[in-house]
Amino acid sequence: MAGRPRDERARATILRRAADIASKDGLEGLSIGRLAADLGVSKSGLFGYFGSKEELQLATLRAASAVYLDEVVQPAMAIAPGLHRLWRLCDTWLNYSQRRVFPGGCFFFTVAAEFDARPGPVRDAVAAAGLDWTRLMTRTIEDARQLGDLVKTTDAEQLAFELIALLEMANATSLLHDDPVAYRRARTAIHARLRSAATVPLSTVDVEE
């Protein structure tokens, strides 16, 4: 029992390194051999944590999800429901991508593009994570609508689609063109879109333009 916390810490270290690699090279870029070389440990030692490449990929997805929760979701959920929370959710996502919490930008943007047309357990896990994010965004918008912060005719699913598209475009443009201005453009576009649907002044929300 005394060794279990140490084993758990080692596993967390391994998976964080795996997520960093996958954010740039994809989950197919992961291998036990590569991780062992990166971390300076034996392949046999890593096999004790992950018996197969697929198991490693799925564990990496779960680890990345925990980071995403800490960096993006929890700070927004600390804000009361409504327009403030909706803006905060977009802003924390942009900060997460811009600060390169994962060196390849948004981890899930990378692996979704990699696995969107591949059947199997890893693709299913990636799809489930993306669906969870879309549902969270949609629910946050619907909460704001029901509270009266957005006009009653707001289509929560449509607005969620638009906001997520802007977030992902900022991530993709900043990576491909090394363009930090993409994040400012995304914030400006999101601000304008929310202002068009808001029933309260968006100036009451802390917006960095």
Residue 188 lies in a domain: yes
Residue 161 lies in a domain: yes
Domain of 94: which CATH number? Answer: 1.10.357.10
Helix axes 156-177, 121-146, angle to 10 degrees: 120
**Which pLDDT does position 31 carry in this prediction?**
85
**Which pLDDT does position 110 carry in this prediction?**
96
Residue 27 lies in a domain: no
Q: Which of the residues in the chain have pLDDT under 50? A: 1-3, 204-205, 207-209
Residue 148 lies in a domain: yes
How far apart (Å, rounded) are the C-alpha atoms in residues 183 and 206?
16
Residue 3 lies in a domain: no
For residue 68, what are the domain limits?
A: 54-203
How far apart (Å, rounded) are the C-alpha atoms in residues 109 and 96?
12
**Which pLDDT does position 68 carry in this prediction?**
98
**Which pLDDT does position 59 carry in this prediction?**
96
Q: Are 138 and 160 in contact (CB under 8 A)?
A: yes
**Which pLDDT does position 33 carry in this prediction?**
85
**Which pLDDT does position 2 carry in this prediction?**
42
Q: For the chain, how many structural domains are there in total?
A: 1
Residue 130 lies in a domain: yes
**Which pLDDT does position 151 carry in this prediction?**
98
**Which pLDDT does position 38 carry in this prediction?**
87
Residue 193 lies in a domain: yes
Residue 10 lies in a domain: no
How far apart (Å, rounded) are the C-alpha atoms in residues 90 and 10?
33
Q: Hey, which residues does 198 pair with through a beta bridge?
A: 150
| pTM more than 0.75 | yes
